[in-house]
Structure 1
Amino acid sequence: MDAALGVVVVNYASSALLRANLSETVREVEPALVVVVDNLSSWSERIAVRALAAEHGWEIVEAETNLGFGGGVNAGAERALSLGAQDLLLLNPDATISAEAVRALQRRATSSRMTAFAPTILDGAGKIWFDGADVYLSDGRTMGVRRRSSRQDEARWEWLSGACLLIPDMLWRATGGFDHDYFLYWEDVDFSRRVIDVGGDLVVVSEAIAVHDEGGTQGRDPSDRAKSEGYYYYNIRNRLMFAAKHLDDEDVHRWRRGAWASAREVLLRGGRRQFLSKPWIPLGAAFRGVRDGRRISRRSSRAFTARPATQSGAPGVQCEETSGGQGES
């Protein structure tokens, strides 16, 4: 490949995953450079990341605070671009991708510098975790493309997961990168929308396969479905932030009215067992997410003519031989 590949990983208390996953991926892919952004979690973690970077020759961006995912990606991308990267591969600490899959993504990027490319992403059990997703404009629900038949002819916008995403330098600069306002979750939905706004495209490359051990960055027992407080809070809050940034006032009001119904769906992603021991933890996060999301949407909502929503069969994400993914932002 002619384009220099820069792998960008945002770390928060996940040095063990970097050692297990990133080192394996880098050994196989052999990118031009690797940039790890360490969002400060503890000094012991910072020392561990420094040691890994020195051992493997990775660039490290040492954030003084926790920049969140979007802010961390932006810092890493700017370092990578300044060092000559032309293709940016965003990769979660709990994700791996093969050299063959990266080559498939870069082949497509060679002739399409205004397109973001995502692989098909499997979970640790080999099941499809992501191969394209939609956000529905009527209520803000996010669903995998396999579930489109349940909501035929409804207005929707497609988006690509930031867990593993190839972005050419031209597209990165055109969009301005990720929106750090989100901090965690929904920033990839937002970025996907802004790709379309600047005239770019979104493509899922089905033959490229990545693996994402969902929840690995949370340090949870894989058998435990419960999510972190941050997962609940930011997913619930950022749904309304996205609406305020991209939709007109009527749509924002509709999403706001459905805030509690949406919050319930987010909470149930963590299963019902979590409510038996300490229910105030997820419920408190949900309450704060709804409260703050409503405040943001009231403060930030602005009337603007949204781009026409993608309908079934209309241009948008090109999912090549895909059958849908979970599509949870």
Structure 2
Amino acid sequence: MAAPLAIVVVNFASTGLLRQHLVKTATDVRPDHVVVVDNWSSRAELDHVGQLARRQGWDLVAAESNLGFGGGVNLGVQRALQLGAEDILLLNPDASISAESVRILQERASTERDAVFSPLVLDSDGKVWFDGADVYLSDGVTRSVRKRFERPGEVRWEWLSGACLLVTDAAWRMSGGFDEDYFLYWEDVDFSRRIVGAGGSLYVVPEATAIHDEGGTQRVGAPQRAKSEGYYYYNIRNRLLFAAKHLDTDDARRWRRGAWASAREVLLRGGRRQFLRPWKPLRAAFRGVRDGRGYSVPEAVRRRQGAMDD
């Protein structure tokens, strides 16, 4: 018998996406609980998501402020565990998954309780969006596992996307949950690293598939590819925050030296047309690099120094 399952979704001004994706997923999967955390955006949005949750029988947790993705996930998982869930499916508002794929993930989780599992994630066109990823310690570049041939022999850490992730109660507790310092982006890279550091494992299960409508919560407006200022700022800042938390001094310095090159790569994800009016993306990049560089001494080094002092 499968462990009690809760689906946890963090909502931020995206009730329309919940109607489109979560209603379909919950109807098919029929989990024991659906927990929706509303990160505060407006009274109207809270009313809308509250009405939807009541109609669908979901458990709504209303945050008093916008806690960010990690803070919202932590609040939702806390509620799911209180309700008796032992398997927690973290799902983006713009993602969906079938009952059969969830069954496959839970079957794997039943034999490895100290692990986290991702399905193969496809975009709405059926192309592979996520099948495992690496972050390279030399420069902080993140790439799909399919591109390992481009950087043979380099030191890398694997990570799983938080867009759709099955986490056991044991793995959640051993990791300590999501680090709320990130607010948005890179918290899944950090979470993956702490799972491995605590002795757990990360798996992509290709027999299970999910669909992710990429950028549904961050696209400025179709058909543009431009992203929000928040997307640019947190992706740029949090790369350096991750370095401060996990790397030694030499690696962290290399990431800092490459901050502007990395920022350019992030900005180009939004296409070149946005640079016809470049103020907002460039402002986000400047703030991201400035604030990221403020994390000067790697936390891993401080922890080692503290241990030696003890």
TM-score normalised to structure 2 length? 0.96
Does residue 213 of structure 2 align to residue 186 of structure 1? Answer: no
- Alpha-carbon separation, structure 2, partners of 1:304 and 1:258: 25
- Alpha-carbon separation, structure 2, partners of 1:298 and 1:207: 42
**Which amino acid in 1 is paired with 2:41?**
S
Q: What's the CA shift for 1:298?
A: 4.4
Question: In structure 2, what is the equivalent of residue 295 of structure 1?
Answer: 294
- Alpha-carbon separation, structure 1, partners of 2:63 and 2:37: 7
- Alpha-carbon separation, structure 1, partners of 2:40 and 2:194: 29
Question: In structure 2, what is the equivalent of residue 317 of structure 1?
Answer: none
Question: In structure 1, what is the equivalent of residue 154 of structure 2?
Answer: 154
Q: What's the CA shift for 1:219?
A: 5.3
- Alpha-carbon separation, structure 2, partners of 1:219 and 1:52: 23
Question: In structure 2, what is the equivalent of residue 279 of structure 1?
Answer: 278
- In 2 relative to 1, CA 57–247 (structure 1 residues): closer, same or farther, beyond 3 Å? same
The answer on whether the counterparts of 1:37 and 1:61 sit within 8 Å (CA) in structure 2 is yes
- Alpha-carbon separation, structure 2, partners of 1:229 and 1:142: 20
The answer on whether the counterparts of 1:7 and 1:33 sit within 8 Å (CA) in structure 2 is yes
Does residue 108 of structure 2 align to residue 130 of structure 1? Answer: no
Q: What's the CA shift for 1:216?
A: 1.0
Q: Report the identity percentage.
A: 66
**Which amino acid in 2 is paired with 1:234?**
Y
The answer on whether the counterparts of 1:174 and 1:198 sit within 8 Å (CA) in structure 2 is yes
- Alpha-carbon separation, structure 2, partners of 1:219 and 1:251: 32
The within-5 A match list for 1:44-123 is 44-123=44-123
**Which amino acid in 1 is paired with 2:169?**
D
| Residue-by-residue CA offset, 1:267-313 (whole Å, 9 max, x unaligned) | 1111101101x2010000000000000002348573567xxxxxxxx
The alignment covers a number of residue pairs equal to 304
- In 2 relative to 1, CA 219–249 (structure 1 residues): closer, same or farther, beyond 3 Å? closer
What secondary structure does 2:296 align onto?
Answer: helix
Unaligned runs of 5+ in 2: 305-310
- Alpha-carbon separation, structure 2, partners of 1:301 and 1:4: 36
| Residue-by-residue CA offset, 1:166-220 (whole Å, 9 max, x unaligned) | 0000000111100000000000000000000000000000010000001111354
The answer on whether the counterparts of 2:39 and 2:62 sit within 8 Å (CA) in structure 1 is yes
The within-5 A match list for 1:1-329 is 1-218=1-218, 220-276=220-276, 278-298=277-297, 302=301
- Alpha-carbon separation, structure 2, partners of 1:38 and 1:70: 13
Unaligned runs of 5+ in 1: 306-329
RMSD over aligned Cα atoms: 1.2
- Alpha-carbon separation, structure 2, partners of 1:288 and 1:76: 30
